[in-house]
Amino acid sequence: MKKTKLNSFLAVFLLLGSISFSNGQNHQKNEDDKWVSLFNGKDLKDWHIKIKGHLLDENYKNTFRVVNGVMQVNYDEYNGTFNTSYGHIFYKKEFSNYRLKLQYRFTGEQIKDGAGWAKRNSGVMVHCQAPETMELEQNFPVSIEVQLLGGLNDGERPTGNLCTPGTHVVMNGKLQKKHCFNSNSKTYNGDQWVSLEILVRNDSVISHMINGETVLTYSKPQIGGSVENVDPKVWKSKEGKPLKKGYISLQSESHPVEFKNIEILELN
């Protein structure tokens, strides 16, 4: 009798465990199925380009291109002069609550008249203003920038940092008005691929992850501060407005960089 009860208990336990494991697998599968690729690896379909000094969707000097399945930011047609032609390539629609993941790497040499701070420097902009609302000579969109930095083979240089063009955030319970903040990531030298993931929760919390490790978290993204090459009155009236949604863009700042496996998982 005792043995029969024990066997029955074990059977029920194993059945429940099997159901739980199966549900866990299905939950993971369903979540994985929701990841959507934003970049098809073939062309720039569904992306819009805005480069300083040029009209929307004018891909000046073939800056943004697709080569061997990766999206390249390249300056080989610039004739050696960058001339502060900061550029951004925007995905076609806005997002609010999501996880974004991609891989990036820096390649080659910086174009000769690029700014010193822009060497092995790029970024992923989230909660961006719409590309068609950017001024002709505007350097950077109002956005939250996840700054990407490559090592310079000389000391530490973290990546997955935060910069705030025309924005402020709350960090450690305080509204921060400084422009850039370092993460606690490692330094990545050379042309190795680095994995980035960004968690964006509306106007609540944003987290940066590098190679699977959370390196920076902050909250309450909002409009604030100056915007380069834009009349201050344009954004002053919106100061303090929460950033609940926006576009995603990738940056061109004078050093060649590549992006691939750009995917998004929208969250409830």
Tell me, what's the pLDDT at 23?
A: 52
Q: Are residues 103 and 40 in the same domain?
A: yes
Q: Are residues 116 and 219 in the same domain?
A: yes
**pLDDT surpassing 80 at residue 224:** yes
Question: Which one, of 88, 232, 224, 213, lies nearest residue 158 by Cα?
Answer: 213
**Which tens digits make up the pLDDT trace of 74-112?**
999 999 999 999 999 999 999 999 999 999 999 999 999
Spatial distance between the Cα atoms of 150 and 116, rounded to a whole number of angstroms: 13
Q: State the pLDDT confidence band at 31, using cuts at 50, 70 and 90.
A: low
Q: Are residues 209 and 127 in the same domain?
A: yes
**Which tens digits make up the pLDDT trace of 175-222?**
999 999 999 999 999 999 999 999 999 999 999 999 999 999 999 999
Q: State the pLDDT confidence band at 126, using cuts at 50, 70 and 90.
A: very high
**pLDDT surpassing 90 at residue 242:** yes
Strand stretches in the chain, DSSP E: 36-37, 47-51, 64-67, 70-73, 87-91, 97-106, 121-128, 144-149, 161-163, 167-171, 174-176, 180-181, 194-201, 205-210, 213-223, 247-252, 257-266
Q: Are residues 104 and 206 in the same domain?
A: yes
Tell me, what's the pLDDT at 30?
A: 56
Q: State the pLDDT confidence band at 257, using cuts at 50, 70 and 90.
A: very high
**pLDDT surpassing 90 at residue 39:** yes
**Which tens digits make up the pLDDT trace of 141-161?**
999 999 999 999 999 999 999
Question: Which one, of 210, 225, 84, 191, lies nearest residue 146 by Cα?
Answer: 210
Strand stretches in 38-120, DSSP E: 47-51, 64-67, 70-73, 87-91, 97-106
For residue 138, the domain's CATH number is 2.60.120.560
Q: State the pLDDT confidence band at 32, using cuts at 50, 70 and 90.
A: low
> Percent of the chain scored above 70 by pLDDT?
88
Question: Which one, of 198, 192, 200, lies nearest residue 210 by Cα?
Answer: 198
Spatial distance between the Cα atoms of 185 and 161, rounded to a whole number of angstroms: 8
Tell me, what's the pLDDT at 121?
A: 98
Spatial distance between the Cα atoms of 256 and 78, rounded to a whole number of angstroms: 12
Cα-Cα end-to-end distance for the chain: 51
Task: Give the HSE-up count for residue 64: Cα atoms under 13 Å, Cβ half-sphere.
Answer: 28
- Indicate the average pLDDT of the chain: 91
- Tell me which residue range forms the domain holding 148: 36-266
Q: Are residues 99 and 12 in the same domain?
A: no
Scanning the chain, the segments in alpha helix (DSSP H) are: 2-33, 232-236
From residue 260, give the alpha-carbon distance in Å to each of 65, 165, 174, 225: 12, 25, 35, 32
Q: Is 225 left (phi over 0), alpha (psi -120 to 50) or beta?
A: left
**Which tens digits make up the pLDDT trace of 2-24?**
444 444 444 444 444 444 444 55
Tell me, what's the pLDDT at 150?
A: 98
Q: Are residues 16 and 126 in the same domain?
A: no
Q: Are residues 96 and 220 in the same domain?
A: yes
Q: Are residues 4 and 104 in the same domain?
A: no
Tell me, what's the pLDDT at 234?
A: 87
DSSP-assigned letter for residue 185: P
**Which tens digits make up the pLDDT trace of 112-124?**
999 999 999 999 9
Q: Pull the structure tokens for residue 255.
A: 């050093």
Tell me, what's the pLDDT at 94?
A: 98
Q: Are residues 61 and 113 in the same domain?
A: yes
Q: How many domains does the chain have?
A: 2
Spatial distance between the Cα atoms of 134 and 104, rounded to a whole number of angstroms: 25
Q: Are residues 109 and 221 in the same domain?
A: yes
Spatial distance between the Cα atoms of 77 and 61, rounded to a whole number of angstroms: 6
**pLDDT surpassing 90 at residue 57:** yes
- Quote the longest CA-to-CA distance of the chain: 89
Q: Are residues 77 and 45 in the same domain?
A: yes
Q: Are residues 48 and 17 in the same domain?
A: no
> What is the value of pTM for the model shown?
0.88
Place of tokens 């820096």: 106
Spatial distance between the Cα atoms of 36 and 216, rounded to a whole number of angstroms: 24
Q: Pull the structure tokens for residue 45.
A: 């379909």
